[in-house]
Structure 1
Amino acid sequence: MKPISELLRSLAAGEISIEQAEQSLASREIEAIDGATVDRGRKARCGFGEVIYGEGKPADLIVRVAEKLLELSPSVLVTRLAADVFAQIQVPHWQMHYSPQARTLRIARTAEALAVVDESSTALRPIAVVTAGSTDAAVAEEVAETLTWMRVPFRVLTDIGVAGPQRLLASLPALEGCAAAVVVAGMEGALPSVVAGHVPYPVIAVPTSVGYGASLGGITALLSMLTSCASNVSVVNIDAGFKGGYVAGLIACGQQAPPQSDGE
């Protein structure tokens, strides 16, 4: 593949047409490898690189895709990665952090790129990560791991569901000054509406599959959240901690200047 500078010289010299140059530039955004097509242009278009959905993928494919993505970004996120597959991923020059609870893997070239961002070290406002019950912790951990990968600070508030409303009232000071909240809840899924009635920012509701029979594997919570009376609630899919965290991270980053290119 020709360098972009050579491509531009060919265009300026009239050796290729604008359409040919456009096609050449578009082809640079993807790279086909055995078993996958890597989106090399995702970071330039969207601010963050491609995330690897690990469920069902063999370890060797995850390694090869991650190697390509690390050419473009300082870190890579893998979601829904089983512990036995992670055990097969052994790359000496990688720094890695695996969360068995969230089933996420963060891969980086340096240990610094894996560190959790402290509120005092960034201009970004934090995200509140709120759980209704401790059984929602795995999904909330996926939210937190996603925000860590995005380099967005967060505050975790656990087990403050509506069965004990005084717990939420005691936690209200920690919700102040945030860019958004991700509220993770199962059962009847009421907590996002209650939180949303106390805060002046978006609430991303994540229904979980926690609950007894009539919770229908999270469908009851999902429908409850979708019919919330609170105007600032948006909803993602059941157990989709990554999606909730990603949307919240974009909100936090969108309140600052757009991310600058790292020259890669």
Structure 2
Amino acid sequence: MRDILEAVAAGDLSPAAAETRLSGYATTDAGRFDAARETRRGVPEAILADVKTPGETATLAAAAVDSTGHAILTRASQAHVDAVAAELDAEVELERDERARTLVAHAPDFEPPVLDATVGIVTGGTSDAEAAGEAAVIVREMGASLTRVEDVGVAHLGRVLDHLDDLRAADVLVVAAGREGALPTVVAGLVDTPVVGLPVSTGYGHGGEGDAALSGMLQSCTVISTVNIDAGFVAGAQAGLVARAVSDAREAGSGDGPESDSN
């Protein structure tokens, strides 16, 4: 503890970073940021913006960058983005995905993780892009490589079969679909890798707004895992955890891991 206090006194460590090391979270006027989640759970903390004011979001984003080196915002409007940009130092790198409504901030000295694993993000159509894009951002921040297979809905099965090699090459797949949500079931019947079904709130009438897609994925006769409607963050995190396990296994198998010493 003394080393931490001396680092703060010398200006080498911010109070937020010191609090993170001591307690695992950073306290702000907008709430507590769970800075230790990434090391504790393997999944980075994200800031859900659309239920917060731009000022609250900016405060939490600053705490995230200060304590972990990066910040992830989901469901962010342009007002949220503008507030974060005004709050953070100019050298912090910002990456905005307008379709996915995400914002990622990286401090200049942030070193992202790198996993020896590939996650495939698959969409049935353009309407699935927002939820799928949110999943892709989380996967990337967790360090996995990304493959995108888009607009392969089951209205024409040939579109799926055209990408079968890409689907089978991935270590885990996130498959986003609305309407009746059949695409994850079809894909899972063609590959030997884990499939995370991501139901999307498209469709109308009976079973609309993602209800039929969620029910269809839960009732899938092939083996898939299913997250909630539009839960791109959760789908990406689940895929990222699988990718991390695959990467760890490959590292151990290559002789570079901690268990490679035969003495």
Q: TM-score range by the shorter chain?
A: 0.7 to 0.9
Q: How does 1:1-150 map to 2 (within 5 A)?
A: 2-3=2-3, 28-89=23-84, 90=86, 91=88, 92-110=90-108, 124-150=116-142
Partner of 1:183: 175
Contact 2:115–2:144 (8 Å) recurs in 1 = no
Structure 1 pair 248–76 and aligned structure 2 pair: CA distance change class (3 A): same
Structure 1: distance between partners of 2:209 and 2:69:
37
Contact 1:75–1:149 (8 Å) recurs in 2 = no
Structure 1 pair 72–88 and aligned structure 2 pair: CA distance change class (3 A): closer
Structure 1 pair 235–158 and aligned structure 2 pair: CA distance change class (3 A): same
Given candidates 198, 204, 229, the residue that maps to 1:238 is: 229
Partner of 1:14: none
Structure 1 pair 105–113 and aligned structure 2 pair: CA distance change class (3 A): farther
Give 1:157 shift.
Answer: 0.7
Structure 2: distance between partners of 1:174 and 1:25:
41
* 1:43-80 deviation line (CA, Å, top 9, x unaligned): 22113432111112122322222222223433221111
Partner of 1:248: 239
Number of aligned positions between the proteins: 236
Structure 1: distance between partners of 2:27 and 2:148:
39
TM-score (norm 2): 0.81
Structure 2: distance between partners of 1:84 and 1:162:
37
Give 1:34 shift.
Answer: 1.1
Structure 1: distance between partners of 2:80 and 2:5:
41
Q: Which amino acid aligns with 1:103?
A: R
Given candidates 178, 188, 191, the residue that maps to 1:199 is: 191
* 1:133-176 deviation line (CA, Å, top 9, x unaligned): 12111111112122222221111111111110011111101112
* 1:162-212 deviation line (CA, Å, top 9, x unaligned): 110011111101112211100000010001010001111110001011112
Structure 1 pair 38–3 and aligned structure 2 pair: CA distance change class (3 A): farther
Contact 2:123–2:151 (8 Å) recurs in 1 = yes
Q: Which amino acid aligns with 1:47?
A: G
> What is the RMSD computed on CA atoms of the aligned residues?
2.8
User: What is the SS of the residue equivalent to 1:257?
Assistant: helix
The answer for unaligned runs of 5 or more in structure 2 is 7-18, 252-256, 258-263
Q: Which amino acid aligns with 2:212?
A: T
Contact 1:186–1:208 (8 Å) recurs in 2 = yes
Structure 1 pair 218–86 and aligned structure 2 pair: CA distance change class (3 A): same
Greater alpha carbon shift after TM alignment, 146-155 vs 194-203: 146-155
Q: Which amino acid aligns with 1:105?
A: L
Partner of 1:20: none
Q: Percent identity?
A: 32
User: What is the SS of the residue equivalent to 2:190?
Assistant: coil
Q: Which amino acid aligns with 1:190?
A: A
Say yes or no: does 1:222 pair with 2:222.
no
